[in-house]
């Protein structure tokens, strides 16, 4: 237990970045080591450039490095459950998690057109205005008008549609075991149509 406390404390120190810091103010990390880890573990699911190899896995390109590092630490500690990720994070040090975060945040992102523009329009409404009749809060109120998030909240812009859908459903069912308190209250109020619409709209943002 003491070892885990030390690791968590070490990660907290590494992630202690001022909220007002510019996007380019990255900590000093070993990007070569991050690339080695990516090519040895990550790329099969997340792609060489963090663009995701299939619709099952999230895009990491452009994601905030602090958020990536926190999720890796949560997988390692068991706070976030995933049979796949448990083996992927085994043995990673806090500084390697941070390096992976910086490595992927620096990767370029790409905009994608919506195949169903009418459905995307519904998603746009929910994203920016929520649903006052069901009590769904606007996604933009936390993740920003462009879905770019913050060091504490994930970038949503450009995320794989199917992955966003699966995470919203996991928040609703509480299968997502970390970052659940606020998101469960939102996801539990979304209809199936709203989930699909919001996920589609998010995938078009850049």
Same CATH topology for 2-105 and 117-204: the answer is yes
Least reliable range by pLDDT among 11-15, 24-28, 46-50, 193-197:
11-15
In this prediction, residues 171-176 reach a mean pLDDT of: 97
**41: which 2 tokens?**
């573990």
Report whether 186 contacts 179 (CB < 8 A): no
- Cα–Cα distances (Å) from 115 to 55, 66, 110, 160, in that order, read 15, 32, 16, 13
In this prediction, residues 6-25 reach a mean pLDDT of: 48
Backbone φ, ψ for residue 159 (5° rounding): -70, 150
Q: For the chain, which residues make up each domain, given as ranges?
A: 2-105, 117-204
Q: What was the pLDDT predicted at 9?
A: 47
Give the chain's mean pLDDT. Answer: 91
In this prediction, residues 91-109 reach a mean pLDDT of: 97
| Record: fold of 117-204 | Cytochrome Bc1 Complex; Chain D, domain 2 (1.10.760)
In this prediction, residues 2-29 reach a mean pLDDT of: 54
Backbone φ, ψ for residue 136 (5° rounding): -75, 125
Q: What is the dihedral of CA 176, 182, 188, 192, to 10 degrees?
A: -80
Q: How confident is the model at residue 101 (pLDDT cuts 50, 70, 90)?
A: very high
Q: How confident is the model at residue 110 (pLDDT cuts 50, 70, 90)?
A: confident
Tens-digit pLDDT profile for residues 178-204: 999 999 999 999 999 999 999 999 999
Euclidean distance between CA atoms 182 and 122, whole angstroms: 22
Q: What was the pLDDT predicted at 112?
A: 87
Statement: residue 34 has pLDDT above 90: yes
Tens-digit pLDDT profile for residues 117-144: 999 999 999 999 999 999 999 999 999 9
The DSSP 8-state label assigned to residue 191 in this structure reads -
Euclidean distance between CA atoms 55 and 160, whole angstroms: 6
Closest CA to 105 of 47, 159, 155, 52: 155
Euclidean distance between CA atoms 80 and 64, whole angstroms: 18
**Residue found under tokens 């939102």:** 186
As a three-state string, the secondary structure of 86-141 is HHHHCCCCHHHHHHHHHHHHCCCCCCCCCCCHHHHHHHHHHHHHCECCCCECCCHH
Statement: residue 17 has pLDDT above 60: no
pTM: 0.87
Span 2-105: which CATH code? 1.10.760.10
């Amino acid at each position: 237990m003491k070892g885990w406390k030390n690791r968590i404390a070490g990660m907290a120190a590494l992630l202690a970045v001022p909220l007002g810091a510019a996007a380019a103010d990255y900590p000093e990390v070993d990007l070569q080591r991050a690339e080695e880890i990516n090519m040895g573990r990550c790329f099969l699911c997340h792609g060489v450039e963090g663009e995701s190899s299939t619709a099952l896995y999230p895009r990491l390109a452009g994601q905030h490095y602090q958020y990536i590092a926190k999720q890796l630490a949560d997988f390692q500690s068991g706070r976030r459950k995933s049979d796949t990720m448990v083996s992927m994070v085994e043995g990673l040090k806090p500084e390697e998690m941070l390096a992976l975060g910086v490595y992927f945040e620096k990767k370029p992102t790409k905009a994608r057109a919506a195949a169903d523009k009418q459905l995307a329009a519904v998603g746009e409404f929910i994203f920016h205005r929520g649903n006052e009749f069901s009590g769904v809060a606007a996604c933009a109120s936390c993740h920003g008008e462009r879905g770019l998030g913050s060091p504490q909240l994930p970038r949503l812009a450009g995320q794989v549609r199917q992955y966003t859908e699966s995470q919203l459903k996991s928040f609703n069912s509480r299968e997502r075991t970390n970052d659940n308190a606020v998101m469960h209250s939102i996801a539990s109020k979304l209809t199936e149509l709203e989930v699909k619409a919001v996920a589609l709209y998010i995938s078009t943002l850049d």
